[in-house]
Amino acid sequence: MRNVVNDYFDVAVGIVRKAGRFITQYGSGCEEFEVKSCDIDFVTKVDKMVENFIIHSISKQYPSHKFIGEESVAGGAKVDLTDDPTWVIDPVDGTMNFVHGFPFSCISLALLISKEPVLGIIYNPLMDKLYSAKEGQGACLNGEPIHTSKVKELRHALVAFETGTSRDEEKVKVVFENFKTMVGQAHGIRALGSAALNMAMVAEGRADANFEFGIHIWDIAAGCLIVKEAGGVCIDPSGGPINLLSRRMLCAGRAELANELSKKLTQYYPDHD
């Protein structure tokens, strides 16, 4: 299995690096976009180009593999997660950043086998940072090993979280409640505008924890493996095991910190993917 995953990984890294060129062409912003679920949820032609390129390139190599892609789902495809090898794609995570030219956007790509991530890649081509992990083989940034931080207490932790891409009243209320809790209790708070890059910061030990309600499997599948392989934990925000389809995620460099956070967060339960 290890050798097969290594082969898949090498192919995927080559494809993701090539796909990154679509993004760097619009490094200072992309004025044209369409709205999706609401007026702060966007898709650009680059999101579609990157996703099509990745699906086409991987299908040529592995015709039997399946895909779950953010823009394919936005276009009406079902999220159909089976035990078959399935590539989960967010072609531009941080589309709001991408539209504005704020340089924190990335491609997030994971391969799931039997519903578990076996490889994950998060690539910010604007900064040429490629975070990656293979199951049981550790996590890397541009090929060099990375590790999560050792911070165990919220009062010492830099915590990343997002407002998300929904204006749903109940969701926004929970965001504000958690904002208040974090401002009062965490060492510091940050929001990069990309769920995958927030997770990459935890994997690299530059942030200590990250949580979000309302994210999708394509935002977190690669990040979960990368955080775990870097030494961290990825759980449901209420404290149980993570379900990649539940649209709820909490990760941290240390289990103690994740547990403390899970007890302090106001919970939100969106519909599953």
From CA 252, how far away is CA 215, in angstroms rounded? Answer: 17
Q: Find the shortest distance in angstroms from Cβ 200 to ligand IPD.
A: 12
From CA 209, how far away is CA 214, in angstroms rounded? Answer: 17
Distance separating the N- and C-terminal Cα atoms of the chain: 28
Q: Find the shortest distance in angstroms from Cβ 93 to ligand IPD.
A: 4
Cβ closer to ligand IPD: 154 or 215?
A: 215
Can residue 194 be called a binding residue for ligand IPD (CB under 6 A)? yes
Interacting stretch for ligand IPD, rule CB under 6 A, among 52-60, 89-97, 129-137, 260-268?
89-97
Rg of the chain over Cα atoms, rounded to whole angstroms, equals: 17
Structure tokens at 70: 């953010």
- Is 83 among the annotated ligand-binding positions? no
From CA 52, how far away is CA 116, in angstroms rounded? Answer: 23
Can residue 69 be called a binding residue for ligand IPD (CB under 6 A)? no
Structure tokens at 76: 């009406």
Can residue 94 be called a binding residue for ligand IPD (CB under 6 A)? yes
From CA 62, how far away is CA 99, in angstroms rounded? Answer: 32
- Is 93 among the annotated ligand-binding positions? yes
Can residue 85 be called a binding residue for ligand IPD (CB under 6 A)? no
Q: Find the shortest distance in angstroms from Cβ 114 to ligand IPD.
A: 26
- Residue in 135, 204, 208, 219 binding ligand IPD, rule: CB under 6 A: 219
- Is 116 among the annotated ligand-binding positions? no
Can residue 164 be called a binding residue for ligand IPD (CB under 6 A)? yes
From CA 236, how far away is CA 58, in angstroms rounded? Answer: 30
Interacting stretch for ligand IPD, rule CB under 6 A, among 71-79, 124-132, 160-168, 180-188?
160-168
Nearest residue to 15 (alpha-carbon basis) of 51, 42, 64: 51
Nearest residue to 222 (alpha-carbon basis) of 84, 72, 111: 111
Q: H-helix or E-strand containing 210?
A: strand 209-213
Phi, psi of 37, deg, nearest 5: -70, -30
Q: Find the shortest distance in angstroms from Cβ 246 to ligand IPD.
A: 13
Interacting stretch for ligand IPD, rule CB under 6 A, among 12-20, 211-219, 220-228, 254-262?
211-219
Q: What is the largest CA-CA distance in the chain?
A: 51
- Residue in 117, 193, 237, 253 binding ligand IPD, rule: CB under 6 A: 193
Q: Find the shortest distance in angstroms from Cβ 97 to ligand IPD.
A: 7
Cβ closer to ligand IPD: 5 or 49?
A: 49
Which residues bind to ligand IPD, rule: CB under 6 A? Answer: 70, 90, 93-95, 162, 164-165, 193-195, 212, 214-215, 219
